[in-house]
Structure 1
Amino acid sequence: MDKWIWAAGGVAVAVTVTALAAIVILWQRRKMRRLMDSLNAMLDKAIEGSFAETAFDESLLSATEARMARFLAVCAVSSRNLAAEKDKIKGLIADISHQTKTPIANLLLYSQLLEEYELPEECSLCVNALSAQAQKLDFLIGALVKASRLESGIIAVSPRQGEVQALIEAAIAQIKLKAKEKGIRLEAERAVGTAYYDPKWTVEALYHILDNGVKYSPPQSLIRIRAIPYELFYRIDISDEGMGIAEAEQSKIFARFYRSPAVSGQEGVGLGLFLVREILAAGGGYIKASSKLGRGSIFSVFLPTEKR
């Protein structure tokens, strides 16, 4: 009889302990859930910009709120400082553009006028060099202004549905003369279908890619343009037979002012591909490059086929 009593007592204790453990676990879970809900609410308010401390005690939640408030305050200061620096740079570039526009235009005009005169050979060489440098300066200032305005949102890239063939033809029309002067052939497959792109800025993006192909390819070589439609994107491949790009540099070529040491002796300022990336990204597209040294490069432009 005593054994039965002891056994029953042991079962009762076990049941009681189990029940207490279950209650503690449930209580801990509810406490954790409330804490997670509070943290989620804090993050939501932080994202909305309406965060404010509500607890001022010795709890862990209060300490977390205080840290979040300090973090957001530091981020706000950093954001304001960054915005102020961007505004200064934007204003500086705008001032440079405004102040240099007339002198550059005059340099180009006078160099063109001088080219019409019969000058000694040495003078003609100097005039040609002056004209080339003035054109280079004009391009650099223009590219800086475009990059600054694209980054700051002053220039709006407004994609709309259009024929991909029309886009390719417009880009080829701009580079055709330069390619012909170097003896480079342009071949483009017929593109069928539409994509969303900005008629002005996307043409400029393709032009910069083609310009690089012409610039860094040998005379009498070939540049191919191939258009491939997919479900979500329209892909345009531009391949050349140039010097190619080292694998280690392929992740750097779209950075602002980046120029490979292999082309440091050639014309260029390192802004063309940066502008290409910015223009395409603003229109919902992107660009990829694949290349091998000595075997040319392929730049693949992806344009959305649906409005975004």
Structure 2
Amino acid sequence: MVSVTPGRCPDMDMWIWAVGAAAVAVTVTVLAAGVIFWQRRKTRRIMDSLNTMLDRAIEGSFTETAFDESLLSATEAKMARFLGVCQVSSQSLAAEKDKIKGLIADISHQTKTPIANLLLYSQLLEEHKLPEEGALCVKALSAQAQKLDFLIGALVKASRLETGIIAVTPRQGEVQALIEAALASIRLKAEEKGIRIEAEKAAGRAYYDPKWTAEALYNILDNGVKYSPPQSLIRIRTISYELFYRIDISDEGMGITEAEQSQIFARFYRSPAVSRQEGVGLGLFLTREILAAGGGYIKVSSKPGQGAVFSVFLPTEKTLKSYKTVRSEKE
């Protein structure tokens, strides 16, 4: 049996309860929506503030403002202090870079004349009839002066590349013209050692700096001539890809161990196997820096006793645009 309270309808009670529950639910929903909306607005305000600070820091016009004691504002304050420190560090770095530029300029200027005089006087002495012992000393003096001239020149080039004094400016050009420029510089040295250089006709265009990229290829060829036996062969092959133009330079030299392949591009690195030969360990370092500055790169494949293949990758127009975009964002 169902008990019914006199004057009270069960359906009416259920309806009142449902209405009450719905009202509570609506109220809770509205309050929750309000809290969420308020929280999002607050978060948005903080993100806008952080974004503005970062924009001003990038533009160099950042200034710290006052904040309240909330957790998010504390984060703003920490960001402000961090950006302030970064700005000071950036200014110090710029000042240090200017000092390095000045030092490089001084070294280049102060050493140019003495080295030129050493070379000149040694050449003049070689033209005179000297005792055998004197002639040997003059020859040694001339060789050491030339080595010093090369070393100072390489150091100045490396420093200028690293500090941005030398600008590598890629522009589109025929790859064949680039290879011919490098060959013109190395051909005499190769002929003196009886080494043949076989270069296939390169079809296609890529982006490179005519002067500096030709020097990068020359450094690779120079190593091939220096560390290959007489009467050996150096081959130059080219492959055109969509994103890069590849130039392979292979030699028949002593080869490079796997452990050393990641070290040969480091500044001043010289393998113990070639320690008795002339060199300062800057050629491949300069090559890598030049190619990287122009949006390209270099890799090596080799096994001891089986020669080496240096692969140079020059950017195409599509790759160069992407490289410039990424570089400008970093700067």
**TM over 0.5, shorter chain:** yes
Q: Is the 8 A contact 2:235 2:250 kept in 1?
A: yes
Output the CA distance in 2 between the equivalents of 1:61 and 1:296: 61
User: What residue in structure 2 maps to residue 234 of structure 1?
Assistant: 245
Output the CA distance in 2 between the equivalents of 1:60 and 1:251: 47
User: What residue in structure 2 maps to residue 222 of structure 1?
Assistant: 233
Alignment of 1:77-92 (within 5 A): 77-92=88-103
The structure 2 residue matched to 1:41, chosen from 52, 62, 70, is 52
Asked if 1:265 corresponds to 2:276, the answer is: yes
Alignment of 1:120-199 (within 5 A): 120-199=131-210
Output the CA distance in 2 between the equivalents of 1:158 and 1:16: 66
Asked if 1:305 corresponds to 2:316, the answer is: yes
Counterparts in 2 of 1:116 and 1:303: CA distance versus 1, 3 Å: same
Output the CA distance in 2 between the equivalents of 1:127 and 1:10: 108
- Residue type at the aligned position of 1:245: I
Q: Is the 8 A contact 1:245 1:293 kept in 2?
A: yes
User: What residue in structure 1 maps to residue 35 of structure 2?
Assistant: 24
The structure 1 residue matched to 2:84, chosen from 37, 62, 73, is 73
Percent of aligned positions that are identical: 84
The structure 2 residue matched to 1:245, chosen from 249, 256, 260, is 256
User: Bigger shift: 278-287 or 134-143?
Assistant: 278-287
Structure 1 segments of 4 or more deviating over 6 A? Answer: none
Q: Is the 8 A contact 1:55 1:65 kept in 2?
A: no
TM-score normalised by L of structure 2: 0.82
Structure 2: stretches of 5+ with no match in the other structure: 1-9, 322-331
The structure 2 residue matched to 1:210, chosen from 221, 229, 234, is 221
Output the CA distance in 2 between the equivalents of 1:100 and 1:87: 20
**1:237-279 CA-partner distances (Å, limit 9, x unpaired):** 1112223333333333333323333333321112212222232
Task: Give, in angstroms, the shift of residue 19 of structure 1.
Answer: 4.5
Output the CA distance in 2 between the equivalents of 1:273 and 1:288: 11
User: Bigger shift: 139-148 or 120-129?
Assistant: 120-129
Task: Give, in angstroms, the shift of residue 191 of structure 1.
Answer: 0.3
Asked if 1:116 corresponds to 2:116, the answer is: no
Compute the RMSD of aligned alpha carbons. 2.6
- Residue type at the aligned position of 1:292: K
Counterparts in 2 of 1:12 and 1:50: CA distance versus 1, 3 Å: same
- Residue type at the aligned position of 2:155: L
Output the CA distance in 2 between the equivalents of 1:266 and 1:25: 73
Task: Give, in angstroms, the shift of residue 183 of structure 1.
Answer: 2.2
Output the CA distance in 2 between the equivalents of 1:80 and 1:40: 22
Q: Is the 8 A contact 2:119 2:146 kept in 1?
A: yes
Output the CA distance in 2 between the equivalents of 1:224 and 1:234: 17
User: Bigger shift: 12-21 or 97-106?
Assistant: 12-21
**1:168-193 CA-partner distances (Å, limit 9, x unpaired):** 11111111111122222211111012
- Residue type at the aligned position of 1:223: I
- Residue type at the aligned position of 1:116: E
- Residue type at the aligned position of 2:150: F
- Residue type at the aligned position of 1:66: A
Aligned residues: 308
User: What residue in structure 2 maps to residue 285 of structure 1?
Assistant: 296
Task: Give, in angstroms, the shift of residue 137 of structure 1.
Answer: 0.4
Task: Give, in angstroms, the shift of residue 120 of structure 1.
Answer: 4.6
Output the CA distance in 2 between the equivalents of 1:71 and 1:23: 34
**1:37-93 CA-partner distances (Å, limit 9, x unpaired):** 332222222222222233432133432333223222322322233233333333223
TM-score normalised by L of structure 1: 0.87
User: Bigger shift: 165-174 or 86-95?
Assistant: 86-95
Output the CA distance in 2 between the equivalents of 1:31 and 1:9: 33
SS at match of 1:200: helix
Counterparts in 2 of 1:12 and 1:253: CA distance versus 1, 3 Å: same
Q: Which has the larger radius of gyration?
A: 2
**1:146-187 CA-partner distances (Å, limit 9, x unpaired):** 223333333333333322111111111111111122222211
User: Bigger shift: 27-36 or 160-169?
Assistant: 27-36
Output the CA distance in 1 between the equivalents of 2:101 and 2:57: 29
